[in-house]
Structure formats: structure tokens, C-alpha cells
Amino acid sequence: MAVYWDTSCVLKLYCPEADSETYLGKLESAAAPPLSSVLLATELHFAFQQKFRRNETAGRKPEQLIRRFQTDVGKGRFQLIPLDDDIHREARRICRLCYERPDPIGLRTLDGLHLATATLASCREVVTTDERMSLAMPLLGLQAG
């Protein structure tokens, strides 16, 4: 069964964080390459720049990190799913589910697109550290990976 990875966790594979080893272990023990949206590549560009500015890249420049990620994608270590109309429709459905509740979940746009991609890719698990995504996942039949 494919597992979807959110940017929050993929970032930990390239920039050292306190829990990076946990996520490296998850990746190494995965039965199949993680799935994610093509949004991941763009989000990583921004995240690598931010982390570099805060000296959180172990001395690696953002360009080096993105090339490493692109190499990993090229080698099939990640599968990126393109955005299409079905994903946008699903994201709008997820938005309604989250915001029309008595206790709304303040899901953000890109997180909604990630969850829509995971749902349409028939993933049952999502690896994320994002609190809002984690709150929305049970509404979609998704569990933490």
C-alpha cells in the first residue's frame, strides 16, 4: 500500500532536525517509494531557502539540496503525482468537510491539495507533522503513517 509523504517530513530527510533519524528509518523500511504531489518540489525550494537563512542546512546550499532531491526523484525514490482537475475538485470537497463542521479545521490550501492527492492516489497513510492535516485525515479515512 502506497504511503503519502507531506513536505514537513520530506524536509527532515534533507535538513537535519531532531527527529530526522525517525523519518530516515521510515523511508528505508518502506515497502514502496513514497508518493507526494508535484507541489513538494516547489515547497522544498522555499523551505530549503528558509532553512539556509537560519543556518539549518548543515552547510549545504539550497541549490545542492534541491539537486539531491531531484536526483532522488529521478532514481524513483519518490513518486510525484501531477495536479489535475480531479485533485482540485477533491480539495474543494475536503475544504467543505473541514470548514463546515461545528468545530472547523483550519486546513490551508496546499495541505488540502496534498490530502486530495493522497486520497485520489488511494493512500491509506500520510506521513506528516502538520497538526491541521492530522486533524483532517480521519475525515478522509486516512491514518498517520
| Residue 49: predicted pLDDT | 98
Burial class (CB in 10 A: 0-12, 13-18, 19+), 28: exposed
Handedness of CA 131, 108, 30, 11 (dihedral sign): negative
The full set of domain ranges for the chain reads 1-145
| Residue 51: predicted pLDDT | 97
pLDDT tens string, the chain, 145 residues long: the values are 799 999 999 999 999 999 999 999 999 999 999 999 999 999 999 999 999 999 999 999 999 999 999 999 999 999 999 999 999 999 999 999 999 999 999 999 999 999 999 999 999 999 999 999 999 999 999 999 8
CA angle, 72 then 20 then 49, to 5°: 65
The CATH number of domain 1-145 is 3.40.50.1010: yes
Are the C-beta atoms of residues 98 and 120 closer than 8 Å to each other?
no
Q: Which amino acid is located at 80 in the chain?
A: L
Instruction: Record the pTM.
Output: 0.94
